[in-house]
Structure 1
Amino acid sequence: MSDDVLIVSGGSPLKGEVRVRGAKNLVSKAMVATVLGESPSTMYDVPRIRDVEIVRGLLELHGVKVTNGALDGELRFDPSNVERAGVDEINVHAGSSRIPILLCGPLLHRLGHAFIPDLGGCHIGPRPIDYHLEALRRFGAVVDKTPEGLHLSAPDGLHGIKYELDYPSVGATEQILLTAVLAEGVTELSNAAVEPEIIDLICILQKMGAIIKVHTNRVIEIQGVPRLGGFSHRPIPDRIEAASWASAALATKGDITVKGARQADMTTYLNVFRSIGGEFEIDDNPVDGGIRFWHPGGDLRPVALETDVHPGFMTDWQQPLVVALTQANGLSVVHETVYEKRFGYTSALNQMGAHIQVFQDCLGGTPCRFGRMGFRHSAVIAGPAKLHATDLVIPDLRAGFSHLIAALAAEGTSRVHGVDLINRGYEDFEAKLANLGATVSR
């Protein structure tokens, strides 16, 4: 039997406690930021996930000394000996993560050169790096595309720019922040992403000595400084993982307390959770607080929702929630406006007994980039559906966790293939499942 297959016996409520640590979508970017500093940095509450391992390997290839601290989840970074890494060494990581593109600005500042291999990540749409490359060129970078990857240089240094994004892309906003902080002059970024992870990255850069102003209407102004130091930081908790466990509680008629979850980062999700009929209770204890999520019994209610950039309903929240919506009494509508290919996972749910139809039309009022482009980016979910066990193959990180929730909610025993992909973003998920009373085995 493959080690990458999880045997899941479903049909029982998940009950108990789990803990979330630093947000995957912040920690890896903060690790990249350490390259900008002239002195060591320390991060706490770093989750043990595959993405952290990948970025740690990339940093170490470039001469950053990364060590484990005295506390569980503590990482220390010493960037004093940043150096070029060999193309062959970097290519070992080709296809394993999309984080390397964010190293461009920091490496150009530190070394005057950067090499970026082929980029990986989840297959939920092309997510082109055009925004990144266009912005880097505007800063003064020269980009040479070769079969092995991208070679970048900055013969005249990097200089501040005035730049407006066509779409408030998180990745492009991070790229510009990480490049602008040491660029000469002032950078003004319009239509920027303002997700909580972006604001937390700005807090980190400010700790390092950056001057960054967040104005109204998605405008961020960065005044370049000549040098940056290190930082000590505890990242915001992972709101995606927290919502995933909340959706699992709904789908399995369970009761899960997510220690570390924070209301401020999840208000939009909490509103939808309550609209469906879920109950939650918030404990603001700064040491051991969190949010308890539970199914109160009775019918769940259908909803109509649209994903959007912050402060809208997060795209990474929708796949786990759709599993719960298969148990709602009536028709739910979900309009995906962020990634065009995010409903591929629904075919497996239909094989399990769900009733989900996907459409090319925009079933909602939010302006959408995908209308009339042929992408099936809206879904109608009819429930309640009795889910039954089957064999599942995980296509990407968030869909993978959704498949896992479906297997836990279904009657019978499922075989879930490709579960190691879940390790990219969910720390110790098998141990957490065991703590919640799930019956799973390799």
Structure 2
Amino acid sequence: MDSILVRGGAELKGEIEIAGAKNACLALMPATLLSEEPLTLTNAPRLSDIRTMTMLLQSLGAEVQNLAGGKVQAMSSHAEITPIADYDIVRKMRASNLVLGPLLARLGHAVVSLPGGCAIGARPMDLHIDALESLGARIELRDGYLHAKAAQGLKGARYEMRFASVGATENFLMAAVLAKGSSQLVNAAREPEIVDLVKCLRAMGAQISGEGTSTIEIQGVDRLHGATHPVVTDRIELGTYMLAPAIAGGEVECIGGRRDLVASFCDKLEAAEIEVEETGRGLKVKRKNGRVGAVDVVTAPFPGFPTDLQAQMMALLCTADGVSVLEETVFENRFMHAPELVRMGATIDVHGGHATVTGVERLKGAPVMATDLRASVSLILAALAAEGETLVSRVYHLDRGYERLEEKLGACGARVERVKGQ
């Protein structure tokens, strides 16, 4: 099992190209099941999660080709589709559940295993089930599989989610585009990944309006056609690499970055005495004079502070001047990185959904263990400025969400290398 070795103390200087969004691409790929014509995604990230989704779609009968070194996903579902998503693949990744809506819309039935992924909370499927059942599906859980049917086809409906779930919004949208009649989703998720999915579906012939707001309107159509769609910039990778010079010192330009994707995050960086400059190519980040300032953070659905940047932000605040409080409101069990940061000399007190971080002058390298995707990169960020060496183990989590991390940071002067496992 691979590890990442970081030798801290090097300031960063240079530029980092930000990849296409993992979370957007994982929703866009199942959209190929909605049409017999080809769907091509450009600016796709090269990640293990994308490979897992590729395997899942291929197991269903879709054709998927990785072109241009993996940055283009050329897909087609013109052949007969098998409506069974098997546990052996689905267990590897939470986003596998996003084939449920398209399979129901295309075939009228589906059997999908309950999904896996990072252990950062329950993230129940009941929101997805309720949303799809509002469209006329009937879904039962038997032996770890969701057995879904819409014998008379899906029918348009108004559905109000009790929580603005991104995944449930995506499943509802992909089901409703081929439902008979009009649908309305109230309290819909507003994330950029939702907007990107709607742009793709609209390019395929769907009739949707209201994306980016809490109410989305869908008028069902008889069929969708093929399309080519560029995947939106990954706002979580963007935020992660923006934090690198903030933690280690120096200046880095994140190519392809857009402030509108991470506005609330940028506000917190600036409150912590980090300078964020919009350029013609992206966002340039550097620390202002002296130590980073302490700030309080509350995670929230978009446009609030992203839960997927909470662990990385904690790494920054470990050496801030003062006391910061981070409140996690989206997922439970998402402070599992805190004990590992403490091993590096951080002062962190966790009580339920709150973590109090008292900044120290400097962290010290130590052997640490990644517990999930975002926790793994938070430890690497912390290690950039720590004294000595830090060995981060179990980085298979990291490969699910960050492509060529050692290369990207190394090009800016970071001393980061992968240590191959036995």
Q: Using structure 2 for the length normalisation, give the TM-score.
A: 0.95
Compared with structure 1, are the counterparts of its residues 101 and 61 closer, same or farther at alpha carbon in structure 2 (3 Å cutoff)?
A: same
- Is 1:397 equivalent to 2:373 in the alignment? yes
- Is 1:350 equivalent to 2:346 in the alignment? no
Q: Deviations over 1:185-210 (max 9, x none)?
A: 11111111111111111111111111
Point out where structure 2 has 5 or more consecutive residues left out of the alignment. none
Point out where structure 1 has 5 or more consecutive residues left out of the alignment. 360-375
1:91 CA drift (Å): 2.7
CA contact (8 A) 1:44 1:74 kept: yes
1:298 is matched by which residue type in structure 2? G
1:400 is matched by which residue type in structure 2? S
1:72 CA drift (Å): 6.0
1:85 CA drift (Å): 5.9
Map of 1:260 onto structure 2 = 256
Q: How does 1:64-75 map to 2 (within 5 A)?
A: 64-70=62-68, 73-75=71-73
SS of 1:338's partner is coil
Map of 1:44 onto structure 2 = 42
- Is 1:273 equivalent to 2:269 in the alignment? yes
2:148 is matched by which residue type in structure 1? L
> Which whole-Å CA distance do the structure 1 matches of 2:12 and 2:399 have between them?
20
Map of 2:22 onto structure 1 = 24
CA contact (8 A) 2:83 2:107 kept: no
Map of 2:180 onto structure 1 = 184
1:177 is matched by which residue type in structure 2? L
SS of 1:420's partner is coil
Q: Deviations over 1:126-180 (max 9, x none)?
A: 0001101122222222223222422222212111121111111111111111111
> Which whole-Å CA distance do the structure 2 matches of 1:71 and 1:208 have between them?
25
Q: How does 1:332-351 map to 2 (within 5 A)?
A: 332-351=324-343
Map of 1:410 onto structure 2 = 386
> Which whole-Å CA distance do the structure 2 matches of 1:226 and 1:299 have between them?
59
SS of 1:8's partner is strand
Q: How does 1:355-434 map to 2 (within 5 A)?
A: 355-359=347-351, 376-434=352-410
> Which whole-Å CA distance do the structure 2 matches of 1:317 and 1:69 have between them?
30
SS of 2:89's partner is coil
1:254 CA drift (Å): 2.9
> Which whole-Å CA distance do the structure 2 matches of 1:339 and 1:71 have between them?
34
1:162 is matched by which residue type in structure 2? R
Compared with structure 1, are the counterparts of its residues 70 and 322 closer, same or farther at alpha carbon in structure 2 (3 Å cutoff)?
A: closer
Q: Deviations over 1:228-253 (max 9, x none)?
A: 11221112101100110111211112
Relative to structure 2, which stretch is displaced further, 66-75 or 418-427? 66-75
Compared with structure 1, are the counterparts of its residues 341 and 385 closer, same or farther at alpha carbon in structure 2 (3 Å cutoff)?
A: farther
1:71 CA drift (Å): 7.4
1:319 CA drift (Å): 1.1
Map of 1:96 onto structure 2 = 92
CA contact (8 A) 1:61 1:85 kept: no
1:274 is matched by which residue type in structure 2? E
1:16 is matched by which residue type in structure 2? G
CA contact (8 A) 1:38 1:227 kept: no
Map of 1:4 onto structure 2 = 2
Map of 1:83 onto structure 2 = 81
SS of 2:25's partner is helix
- Is 1:199 equivalent to 2:168 in the alignment? no
2:260 is matched by which residue type in structure 1? A
Map of 1:157 onto structure 2 = 153
> Which whole-Å CA distance do the structure 2 matches of 1:94 and 1:47 have between them?
20
> Which whole-Å CA distance do the structure 2 matches of 1:216 and 1:153 have between them?
30
SS of 1:194's partner is coil
1:435 CA drift (Å): 1.2
1:297 CA drift (Å): 3.2
SS of 1:415's partner is strand
Compared with structure 1, are the counterparts of its residues 136 and 215 closer, same or farther at alpha carbon in structure 2 (3 Å cutoff)?
A: closer
SS of 2:71's partner is coil
> Which whole-Å CA distance do the structure 2 matches of 1:300 and 1:181 have between them?
47
Compared with structure 1, are the counterparts of its residues 136 and 420 closer, same or farther at alpha carbon in structure 2 (3 Å cutoff)?
A: same
1:388 is matched by which residue type in structure 2? K
RMSD: 1.7
> Which whole-Å CA distance do the structure 2 matches of 1:123 and 1:318 have between them?
16
1:321 is matched by which residue type in structure 2? M
Equivalent in 311, 314, 323 of residue 319 of structure 1: 311
Equivalent in 290, 313, 324 of residue 298 of structure 1: 290
1:354 is matched by which residue type in structure 2? A
Q: Deviations over 1:94-124 (max 9, x none)?
A: 3211122111121122223212123111111
Q: Using structure 1 for the length normalisation, give the TM-score.
A: 0.91
Relative to structure 2, which stretch is displaced further, 239-248 or 253-262? 253-262
- Calculate percent identity across the aligned residue pairs: 39
Relative to structure 2, which stretch is displaced further, 147-156 or 257-266? 147-156
1:92 CA drift (Å): 2.4
> Which whole-Å CA distance do the structure 2 matches of 1:221 and 1:154 have between them?
21
Q: Give the count of matched residue pairs.
A: 418
CA contact (8 A) 2:102 2:171 kept: no
1:112 is matched by which residue type in structure 2? G
Map of 2:226 onto structure 1 = 230
Compared with structure 1, are the counterparts of its residues 215 and 396 closer, same or farther at alpha carbon in structure 2 (3 Å cutoff)?
A: closer
Map of 2:240 onto structure 1 = 244
SS of 1:419's partner is coil
> Which whole-Å CA distance do the structure 1 matches of 2:288 and 2:358 have between them?
21
> Which whole-Å CA distance do the structure 2 matches of 1:244 and 1:296 have between them?
18
> Which whole-Å CA distance do the structure 2 matches of 1:121 and 1:101 have between them?
11
Relative to structure 2, which stretch is displaced further, 377-386 or 329-338? 377-386
1:57 is matched by which residue type in structure 2? M
SS of 2:399's partner is helix
1:419 is matched by which residue type in structure 2? V
Map of 1:365 onto structure 2 = none
